[in-house]
Structures are given as structure tokens and as C-alpha cells.
Structure 1
Amino acid sequence: MRAEPIATPAPPALPQRRGGAARLERAVLALAGNHGRVVEHRERSWASITFAGTRHTLRIVFDTPDAIAGGEALIASLPDHEFALPARLVADATVSAVDHVLQPAPQLTVTCEILLLEDS
């Protein structure tokens, strides 16, 4: 007797954020064709001698064929994208992890690291 794989549902999307974090999420999802769900968003303060800002870690799940294509577009375009965020400058944007599974259903999970500096 063969055991059937257990389907694990994707985590739900986070509640609607406001302010700069929400604008960042919308800008990143726009790169993915407005596909995907942000399932984790961590924000922590960052500072150097001359700059201050925040470092953001976003984990985004794509679980339909169109969404997965959007996630792949995000992976390709994020590092070189010029963001337009009010009073903020994106100093660094990288894809730090990608997890693509096919079973029990296709799903792409992308983790992004983004450093936002205060534009003064």
C-alpha cells in the first residue's frame, strides 16, 4: 500500500500593511506582475556612519502557473530595478533564496532582501 502525499497549504497572506512597508510590498509585487502573496515581511533598523534606513526581508509565495511566471520575472528583474519610493532610496535589493517545488502542487517561494535608506 502506497502512502499518498499530504498537501500542505501555503501560509495565508499577511494583513494589509500601511506606510513605507506597504509601498515596498506593492512595488516588489508589481515586478511580479502583481502576482504572489507576501507571507512574511520582517523589517529592522539599519544604520552606518553616514546613512540610516531599514532592512526588509520579504518571503513571497507564487502558486499558480501565471503567478510562478511572475515570480520568475521578479527574480530576473529585482537586482537591477530602479524603485520609485517616496523619501526612500533602495540601496540594495537581492534575491536571497528560491524554493521551487512541483509536488504536491507547483509552488515558487522567493525571499528578497532590500535595504531602504532615508532620502534626506
Structure 2
Amino acid sequence: MSDERQPPKPPRARRTAGDRMREALLALCDHQGQVIEHREKAWASITFAGTRHTVALLFAGDEAVEAGERFVAALPDHEFAIPGQLVADAGVSECEHRLLPSPRLAVTCELLLLEEA
């Protein structure tokens, strides 16, 4: 009988609130956008703690640009379901369209996530 042990599996990376928020944003744009930048900064008030996120997305091609336009319209009123987090504010801070050499839409959005008690 040989004692061949399997090497231990590496621990699974724990998904952060930022990871879940990015996944929710990509789902909202039908996975037609690409996250090209994500900045996260701690945020707190007297009664709440959380994080402020700035996310830049790129939509390339006709179909992706259409999805990006729907994303821009839907984001401010979207009800996010992120475990342990409340999205207190979500909006588009910058939007840039380009038609040549091919259709592109660059969107920067700001989100404030508060930790649920």
C-alpha cells in the first residue's frame, strides 16, 4: 500500500465586497463591458462605515455600446444584492462616446457601499 498523499489544495481566495460589486456591475451591463480600472477608498460617517468605489468600464463594438447605454440609464435606480452591503449611492460621473475607428463607450461610475449591521 503506497502512501501517496494529494498535495493540499490552496485556500480559495475570499471574494471581497469590491469583487461582488464588480460582478454585479458586469451583470447589469449583460457582461458586455470590461472593467479597466477600479479604485476603492474607505469611507465613514458618524453612523456608517463603508467604501467608495470608482469603476471605469469600456464597451467596444455596436452591441457592447448599446449595452453600455442601457447600463448608464439603469445604474442610478438599480437595486443591488451584495451580501453584507447596502449600495447607498450609484451614479455615472463620466461618459465618453467615440465612433471612429470603431464604436466605443467609456463609462466611469461611482458607488458608495455601506456595511450592513
Match of 1:58 among 36, 55, 60: 55
1:71 counterpart = 2:78: no
Secondary structure class of the residue paired with 1:97: strand
Partners of 2:73 and 2:79 in 1: CA distance: 13
Secondary structure class of the residue paired with 1:23: helix
**In the alignment, what sits opposite 1:44?**
41
Partners of 2:45 and 2:78 in 1: CA distance: 23
Unaligned stretches of 5+ in structure 1?
1-16
Partners of 2:63 and 2:47 in 1: CA distance: 42
Partners of 1:23 and 1:52 in 2: CA distance: 18
Unaligned stretches of 5+ in structure 2?
1-13
Partners of 2:101 and 2:30 in 1: CA distance: 25
Shift of 1:106: 1.1
1:31 counterpart = 2:24: no
Shift of 1:18: 3.8
Taking structure 1 as the reference length, the TM-score comes to 0.83
**In the alignment, what sits opposite 1:114?**
111
**In the alignment, what sits opposite 1:90?**
87
Partners of 1:36 and 1:103 in 2: CA distance: 18
Deviations 1:15-62 (A, max 9, x none): xx9421111011011111111100000000000000000000000000
How many pairs are equivalent?
Answer: 104
Alignment RMSD: 1.2
% of aligned pairs identical? 56
Secondary structure class of the residue paired with 2:57: strand
Runs of 4+ in 1 over 3 A off after TM superposition: none
Taking structure 2 as the reference length, the TM-score comes to 0.85
* Bigger CA radius of gyration: 2
